[in-house]
Amino acid sequence: MSRFWKMTASRACNGAAIYQCSVQSLKCGVLGKAPNALGGPSRQRRVLRVTRSICKTLLQPYRALHEIRKEVSVPSLVQRFYDRIWNAGDLAAISDLLSADFLFRGSLGSKLRGLEAFEGYVHTVRNALADYRCEILECVTEGNQAFAKMRFSGTHVAAFRGYPPTGKPVYWLGAALFRLDRQTIAELWVLGDLAGLDEILAANQQHQSL
């Protein structure tokens, strides 16, 4: 058996590995590594077409598994973080869900470390925005990390970002990157659409003064 076909057979034992190689890698293997064994260009193209067809059929189950891993999936830890701490205001959950040396960068730009500092941040936001809610729009995970597209909202009832209260709803979008450490969240970095938020706050203020 030629070196090329030995390599192909070896990879066939690991479907996930083949899938990651992609058709381009197969093309390089067939046309680049064994041109003499396969004959002229016309024969090489025929072999390539057959190889593609075989791999597509054999690897379909592995591709399906690969796609499933890429679908939206929210870790329980991330869901509880938003449901309990932010949406329900359960501050006792902070010590349950976060590491003692928790690192945080909030959607409003604040950077802090530790549970006490984070609790103060939660107080500030929830006091300014009644009925405050964090909604997970999309989430993907890989290893010990999770990345979520977020929507934050509430009713402006106290001074917030330099704007006096208007009693009107506000919202903004954000992107949150979590680093998980077993049963706790070790780090969270969030980027918020502050330009969009300030635009809403300013518009609400203008309407209030009319």
| DSSP code per residue over 104-173 | EE-TTS-EEESHHHHHHHHHHHHHHEEEEEEEEEEEEEETTEEEEEEEEEEEE-S-BTTB---S-EEEEE
Res 100 pLDDT > 50: yes
Q: 55 with 130, same domain?
A: no
Q: What is the mean pLDDT of the chain?
A: 81
Q: Are strands 129-142 and 111-113 parallel, antiparallel or unpaired?
A: unpaired
Mapped onto helix, strand or coil, the DSSP state of residue 21 is helix
pLDDT for the residue 23: 46
Confidence band (pLDDT; 50, 70, 90) for 8?
Answer: very low
Maximum Cα–Cα distance across the chain: 84
Q: What does the alpha-carbon distance between residue 190 and residue 174 come to, in Å, rounded to a whole number?
A: 7
Q: 55 vs 121, which has greater pLDDT?
A: 121
pLDDT for the residue 159: 97
Q: 65 with 82, same domain?
A: no
Q: 66 vs 169, which has greater pLDDT?
A: 169
Q: What is the CATH number of the domain that holds 148?
A: 3.10.450.50
Res 35 pLDDT > 80: no
Q: 92 with 25, same domain?
A: no
